[in-house]
Amino acid sequence: MKKNNDIVLFKDGKRYDGRKADELRPIVMKTGVLKRASGSAYVEWGKNKVIAGVYGPRQLHPKFMQNPTKAVVRCVYNMAPFSVDDRKKPGPDRRSVEISKICTEALENVVLTEKFPNAVVDVFIEILQADAGTRCVGLTAASLALADAGIPMRDMVAACAAGKVQGEVVLDLMKEEDNFGESDLPLAVTPRKKEIVLLQMDGKLSREEFTKAFNLAVDGAMQVSEMQKKALLESPVEVEK
């Protein structure tokens, strides 16, 4: 969280981009966008643009990495060099390794891995344009892509962040709010049971603020979940010729 005392992020009940405290950015979701992936999804969320592709389940090689009781889920989060203001050096860095790990762990909770011993399910999250909250957008897109691939899952994963900006607890921080705000709390839920499969926090919140931000983010994720359902119902049905 950078310091900038000049930027006004919350005034007269309105945020930097005109949203109310509990309002999400506009979100568009689409599935079946990649011809060669087993399943895919594209999500625009505010100024974020993210694509997710799933490959598998298929036999895992090398063999010693196989698990005879269940499939291995591997999720890779990658930011394109042109996705941020300063060109991002291509390839993994500390941040993308961390986000890949937390996304893998969130998805392992929902994929019915026991149905596919010795197999691997690969999930790729590509950030084409970033404007804060990309781990939430990526995870939401990855879950859609898994469903699009027809991979058996106990539940979906829907994610959203909340945080604190100039003293106000707000939903779904955009870049300026993320950069100059006081705190950011991304989380992911499984909508049916409302289990938390990801919870992280940057900055500082009081106990009351934490509870408020947590509940706000869960409500946001539940709205995201409804959009996922709609996107899946609207997804094109392929007829084999």
Tell me the closest approach of the beta carbon of residue 12 to ligand CDP, in angstroms: 26
Burial of 236 (0-12, 13-18, 19+ CB in 10 A): exposed
Tell me the closest approach of the beta carbon of residue 70 to ligand CDP, in angstroms: 28
Q: Indicate the residue among 19 and 88 with the shorter CB distance to ligand CDP.
A: 88
Q: Indicate the residue among 47 and 58 with the shorter CB distance to ligand CDP.
A: 47
Q: Indicate the residue among 60 and 198 with the shorter CB distance to ligand CDP.
A: 198
* CB burial readout 10-42, b (16+ within 10 A) else e: beeeebbeebebebbbebebbbbbbeebbbbbb
Q: Compute the distance between CA of residue 41 and CA of residue 39 in angstroms, rounded to an integer.
A: 7
Tell me the closest approach of the beta carbon of residue 148 to ligand CDP, in angstroms: 22
- The closest of 150, 134, 148, 226 to 189, measured between CA atoms, is 226
Q: Indicate the residue among 127 and 151 with the shorter CB distance to ligand CDP.
A: 127
Tell me the closest approach of the beta carbon of residue 75 to ligand CDP, in angstroms: 14
Is there a contact between 99 and 138 (Cβ–Cβ < 8 Å)?
yes
Q: Compute the distance between CA of residue 182 and CA of residue 167 in angstroms, rounded to an integer.
A: 8
Q: Indicate the residue among 23 and 176 with the shorter CB distance to ligand CDP.
A: 176
Helix (H, G, I), strand (E, B) or coil at 41: strand
Tell me the closest approach of the beta carbon of residue 48 to ligand CDP, in angstroms: 7
Residues near ligand CDP (CB under 6 A) are: 84-85, 88, 95, 130-135, 175, 178, 186
Strands 195-199 and 10-11, sheet pairing: unpaired
